[in-house]
Each structure stands twice: as C-alpha cells, then as structure tokens.
Amino acid sequence: ALQLDIVTPDKVVFSDQVQYVSARGVEGEFGVLPGHFQLLSALDIGCLHYTTLEGDKKCAFVGGGFAEVLNDKVTVLAESAELAEDIDQVRAMQARERAEKRLESKTDEVNVERAQAALHRAITRISVYNEIH
Ligand code: ATP
C-alpha cells in the first residue's frame, strides 16, 4: 500500500493508506503505485484521484502545490484542497460567477491572473463535485 497525506496550510485533508494515486503535475498527469521511484512535482489545479484499500475510487480537489513520492509515501502540500464530498457546490458556483464578472469588467483594478486562477479553481471544484453526484 501507499501512505497518502494531503495537507494544506490550515488542515490535514487526508491521511490514510491507499492502493493508487494519480495527480495533475504541471508536466502532465502521473500515477503512483507502491514501488514508484522518488519524485517531486509541482501540481496544477486539478482533481487528485486515489483508490482506497477497499478498492473504492475517490477524488479530491487540489488547488495547486507540490507532491513528493518517497518510499511508498505520497505527500501533497496544497495551497487549498478538499475531498470531493466536502465541496460546497453553491460556493464554487458563486466563486465562478465572481471571477467571470471580474474578467469581463476589464478594469485596471482587476488582477487578471488572479481572477483566472480563481475561475480555474471554481470550474475544477464544480467538475470534481459533479464527478461524485
Ligand atoms: P472562494 O472565493 O469561494 O473562497 P477560492 O478558490 O478563493 O474560493 P481557496 O483560496 O482555494 O478558495 O480556498 C480557501 C479555503 O476555502 C480552503 O480551506 C478551501 O478548502 C475552502 N473552499 C473554497 N471553496 C470551497 C468550496 N466550494 N467547497 C468547500 N470548501 C471550499
């Protein structure tokens, strides 16, 4: 088995043994099984998939960060993350709308990069939510 830990600046989102993990690295999707070589990768905003010891396929939202694979341990240090079942759909839809309005307004006060990242997080949360509902 693998030990998977997903940690954000304010909480431990997940810490348990799993069979398999896949995540969106900035250089592409990668999968980890026991015996994987050592790896350090920056993570994109995306869905992290994992398979529990019971064989259930689960997913979590990860808002960017880093993943380390070492000795059958996968450690994800994420800027923000939630298990799919903890995603508040209404909040994500409101965040999407807010980001879209900011991007449409095109005033100088709008930090476009920040608004685009917020939009990307919101859209990804909605798709992770939809994956389990
Ligand atoms: P918002 O504008 O709604 O705060 P955001 O993308 O700016 O969204 P983040 O900075 O990624 O939010 O996350 C801040 C905290 O709020 C984190 O702890 C994250 O887990 C939580 N969070 C954000 N959006 C949601 C959501 N839709 N459902 C559950 N938790 C959320």
- When the pLDDT of each residue in the chain is averaged and rounded to a whole number, the result is 96
Please state whether the predicted TM-score (pTM) of the whole model is above 0.85: yes
Q: Is 62 exposed, middle or buried (0-12, 13-18, 19+ CB in 10 A)?
A: buried
Beta bridge partners of 6: 14, 76
Beta bridge partners of 3: 17, 73
Ligand 1: atom nearest CA of 92 is 27
**Could you tell me the CA-to-CA distances from 76 to 51, 94, 119, 131, 133 in Å, in that order?**
16, 27, 22, 21, 25
For the cut 80, the answer to whether the pLDDT of residue 12 exceeds it is yes
Out of 82, 86, 123, mutate this one to test ligand 1's pocket (max ligand atoms within 8 Å of CB): namely 82
Out of 91, 97, 130, 133, mutate this one to test ligand 1's pocket (max ligand atoms within 8 Å of CB): namely 91
Q: Taking residues 111-131, what's their average pLDDT?
A: 96
For the cut 90, the answer to whether the pLDDT of residue 106 exceeds it is no
Q: Taking residues 11-16, what's their average pLDDT?
A: 98
Task: Give the pLDDT confidence score for residue 109 in this predicted structure.
Answer: 83
- CB-CB contact of 128 with 60 (8 Å): yes
- pLDDT tens digit sequence for 20-73: 999 999 999 999 999 999 999 999 999 999 999 999 999 999 999 999 999 999
Ligand 1: centre distance to CA 24 (Å): 19
Task: Give the pLDDT confidence score for residue 44 in this predicted structure.
Answer: 96
